[in-house]
Amino acid sequence: MLITKSYVDVPHSLTGKPIRIFVIEPLLPEYPDAKFPGVVVFSEIYQVTGPVERFAGQIASQGYVVALPSVYHDFAPPDALPYDTEGTDRGNLYKIQKEIKSYDEDQKLSVDVLVAHKNCNGRIAATGMCLGGHLAFRAAFDERVKATVCWFATDIHSATLGKGKSDDSLIKVRAGELKGKGELVMIFGKQDTHVPREGRDLIRKTLEDAGVTLSFIEVQAQHAFVRDEESKNRWDAALTRNLFGFMIEVFERTVGRDLGQRVHLGGEIEHVC
């Protein structure tokens, strides 16, 4: 499916500076009233880079309206930061200078953009990688988000996202704020030095203890294994392709079709032959 890219600059109540949200969507001029589900894609610490845009474009080409927020609008223009030492240092600095409540408003505004889009049917999912994996995780608390896939999400286990390096993501999980909401998928590489085994185990246990609908996937890969540019020899194209297919299956099953109101049957899953 062909796709097209645009952007909107949306007022942000906490910073006084607009946030730029890029939109990638199917291009079907002969069907101007077509409706598609929406997906918010949250980027790494470098904002919306080429690899992130290509990742989002692949989702859009499957039949989704995709929103990509530039989350460092508090400090910088919406342009991507370079994959070099300076860009990495700036991205890591902005990550811990930004208020958690500003991240959360970014998420809310991104979902708002999709819900208001004339070609979006209002059924929303979220995904993201690295920093964006954590932001997607927080998006899962939004009742409008029906499915979330987090790729090597950083700082969840250590609760060190945002200003003061003291976020409440797992605290909110323990308080039951994800139970009964959308489906969640966590994807990690076992060789990821940013999220060690102890951290992954903590995330899994916290989610399972809280009764979250969860798939937890660990693979033989390093951090940033989906990045097809400046990956420091970590990119695994075959593994990315397979996991991308898993993600699309989740999106198709949860937001790709309108199945009506979910009925909670209780007890074991009922299998219909």
Whether the CB-CB separation of 56 and 66 falls below 8 Å is answered with yes
Confidence of residue 254 (pLDDT cuts 50, 70, 90): very high
Q: What's the pLDDT tens digit per position in 161-196?
A: 999 999 999 999 999 999 999 999 999 999 999 999
Higher pLDDT, 259 or 81: 81
* pTM for the full predicted model: 0.93
**Residues known to be catalytic:** 130, 192, 223
Phi/psi for 27 (5° steps) reads: -105, 100
Q: What's the pLDDT tens digit per position in 109-146?
A: 999 999 999 999 999 999 999 999 999 999 999 999 99
Q: Quick one: fold of 3-253?
A: Rossmann fold (3.40.50)
Query: Is residue 70 classed as helix, strand or coil in its secondary structure?
Result: coil
Alpha helices in the chain (DSSP H): 50-61, 85-97, 100-116, 131-139, 169-174, 197-209, 237-254
Q: How many residues belong to the chain?
A: 273
Q: Over 90: is that where the pLDDT of 9 sits?
A: yes
Alpha helices in 10-75 (DSSP H): 50-61
Confidence of residue 264 (pLDDT cuts 50, 70, 90): low
Query: Is residue 14 classed as helix, strand or coil in its secondary structure?
Result: coil
Q: What's the pLDDT tens digit per position in 22-50?
A: 999 999 999 999 999 999 999 999 999 99
What is the residue extent of each domain of the chain?
A: 3-253
Confidence of residue 53 (pLDDT cuts 50, 70, 90): very high
